[in-house]
Amino acid sequence: MKNDVLGVKEIHENLHKKYKDYPIEVYKVLDSTNVELKRRAVNGAVHGLTILSEEQTAGKGRMGRDFYSPNGTGIYMSIMIKPEMIGEDVVLITTAASVAVCRALEKSLGMSARIKWVNDIYLNERKICGILTEAITDTGKGRIESVILGIGINYRTENFPQEIRGIAGSLLPDCAVPRNLVVGAILNEFWEIYEKLAEREFMKEYRKRSNVIGKEVRFLVDGEWETANALDVDDDGGLIVEVFKEDGMKQKQVLRTGEITLRITE
Ligand code: BTN
C-alpha cells in the first residue's frame, strides 16, 4: 500500500470522542519512542501523551534486546501513563496492552492474534508485536511516577535480521488498511481497559487468547532452564506453572517477572 503515512490528524479521526484530548505526536525518525518519552517525562509530559515514529534507530526490546524498526513498515508507539493508584501494577498495564492490541487487530483487520506470556503477540506462530513497559520511580515519594508503555508491531515489515528470522513475522505484507486506523483502534481499546484496570475484567480475555496455558513450557531463570506445565494466568498476570523436579515430583510456582525467557515445548 502506497502513501500509508502516520499522521496526528488521521489518528485523531479514529479515536473515540472521550480520548481525543490525549496529545499525539508523530516523528519521521527517533532513536526510540520509549527513550523519547523518558526524556519528555523530565519536562513534565502529560498523562496520555502518545509518541509515534516512522522509524527507530535504536528501538528497544525486553531484556536489553533491540527491536527491529525500519522506516514506514511498522507501528512504533509509546504512551505516557501517570498511574493514579499508588503502586499501580506495571505488569497489569502490560497485560492490558496485550489484550488491547489483540482486540484492535480483531476489529480493524479481522485477525485473531494470540498472546505468549507475558506480552508477545503472535499470529500464525510468528511474533508480530512486542511490548516494553518501563516505570519511572519518584525516589522521593517511593512510588511509580510514570509508566511508559511501548508497543512495536511488524505491520508490513520484511527482511528481518537473521537472528529473528525464525521467530518474527509481519501482520500482512500487503495490508491495505492504513496504520493510522489500527493505531486509533489500539488507543481506543487500551484506554477502555485502562479505565477499569483494577477490576481485571480483561484478564478473562487474556487467558482465552493465551497460547501458553495448557502447554508444556521451558523457562530460563537465573541461568537455569526448568521444564513445567503452564496451568493458568492469575489475576495479577503471573503465570502459574507446575515445575517438574529432578526427583520426579512436581511443584507449583508462579512466574512473575518479565525477565523470564519462556519457550513452548509442545
Ligand atoms: C520486545 O518484544 O522485546 C518488546 C519490543 C517493544 C518495541 C517497542 S517499539 C515502540 C517502543 N519503543 C522502543 O524502543 N521499544 C518499544
Question: With a 6 A CB cut-off, is 61 part of the ligand 1 pocket?
Answer: yes
pLDDT in tens, 4-30: 999 999 999 999 999 999 999 999 999
pLDDT for 259 equals: 66
Cα–Cα distances (Å) from 111 to 2, 58, 62, 103, in that order, read: 22, 29, 25, 9
Those residues with Cβ within 8 angstroms of residue 204's Cβ, 6 or more apart along the chain or in another chain: none
**What is the SS3 assignment for 126-187?**
EEEEEEEEEEEEECCCCEEEEEEEEEEEECCCCCCCHHHCCCECCCCCCCCCCHHHHHHHHH
Distance of CA 44 to the CA centre of its chain: 24
* Ligand 1 centre distance from Cα of residue 60 (Å): 5
Q: What is the mean pLDDT of each run of 10 residues along the chain (266 residues)?
A: 90 96 97 97 92 98 94 97 69 93 96 94 95 86 86 94 94 84 98 92 96 92 88 94 88 82 80
* Ligand 1 centre distance from Cα of residue 149 (Å): 9
* Ligand 1 centre distance from Cα of residue 259 (Å): 15
Question: With a 6 A CB cut-off, is 23 part of the ligand 1 pocket?
Answer: no
Q: What is the mean pLDDT of the chain?
A: 91
Take residue 191 and report the three cell numbers written for it: 484506554
* Ligand 1 atom at shortest distance from the alpha carbon of 59: 14
Residue nearest atom 8 of ligand 1, based on CA coordinates: 152
